[in-house]
Structure 1
Amino acid sequence: MVKLAAKCILAGDSAVGKTALAQIFRSDGAHFQKNYTLTTGVDLVVKTVPVPDTGDSVELFIFDSAGKELFSEMLDKLWESPNVLCLVYDVTNEQSFANCGKWLEKARSQMPGASLPGVLVGNKTDLASRRAVDSAQARSWALGQGLECFETSVKEMENYEAPFHCLAKQFHHLYREKVEVFQALV
Structure 2
Amino acid sequence: MVKLAAKCILAGDPTVGKTALAQIFRSDGAHFQKNYTLTTGVDLVVKTVPVLDTGDSVELFIFDSAGKELFSEMLDRLWENPNVLCLVYDVTSQTSFSNCGKWLEKARSQIPGMTLPGVLVGNKTDLASRRAVDADQAQAWALGQGLEWFETSVKEMDHYEAPFHCLAKQFHHLYRERVDSFHALV
User: Which band: TM-score by shorter chain?
Assistant: over 0.9
Show the 5 A alignment for 1:24-35: 24-35=24-35
Q: Which amino acid in 1 is paired with 2:8?
A: C
SS at match of 1:126: helix
Asked if 1:176 corresponds to 2:176, the answer is yes
2-structure distance, mates of 1:151, 1:172: 23
2-structure distance, mates of 1:73, 1:37: 20
Show the 5 A alignment for 1:137-152: 137-152=137-152
Show the 5 A alignment for 1:8-27: 8-27=8-27
Could you tell me which residue of structure 2 aligns to residue 68 of structure 1?
Answer: 68
SS at match of 1:9: strand
Could you tell me which residue of structure 2 aligns to residue 45 of structure 1?
Answer: 45
2-structure distance, mates of 1:22, 1:72: 20
Could you tell me which residue of structure 2 aligns to residue 154 of structure 1?
Answer: 154
Consecutive unaligned residues of structure 1, counting only runs of 5 or more, are none
TM-score by length of 1: 1.00
Could you tell me which residue of structure 2 aligns to residue 108 of structure 1?
Answer: 108
Q: Which amino acid in 2 is paired with 1:169?
A: K
1-structure distance, mates of 2:75, 2:108: 14
Could you tell me which residue of structure 2 aligns to residue 99 of structure 1?
Answer: 99
1-structure distance, mates of 2:184, 2:153: 44
Aligned residues: 186
TM-score by length of 2: 1.00
2-structure distance, mates of 1:162, 1:57: 15
Could you tell me which residue of structure 1 aligns to residue 54 of structure 2?
Answer: 54
SS at match of 1:137: helix
Consecutive unaligned residues of structure 2, counting only runs of 5 or more, are none
Pairwise CA distance, 1:163: 0.2
Asked if 1:36 corresponds to 2:36, the answer is yes
SS at match of 2:85: strand
Could you list the per-position Cα deviations for residues 57-76 of structure 1 after superposition, in whole angstroms to 9, with x for gaps in the alignment? 00000000000000111110
2-structure distance, mates of 1:157, 1:25: 9
Could you tell me which residue of structure 2 aligns to residue 126 of structure 1?
Answer: 126
2-structure distance, mates of 1:182, 1:74: 36
Query: Structure 1 stretches (4+) deviating beyond 4 angstroms?
Result: none
Q: How high is the sequence identity, in percent, across the aligned residues?
A: 88
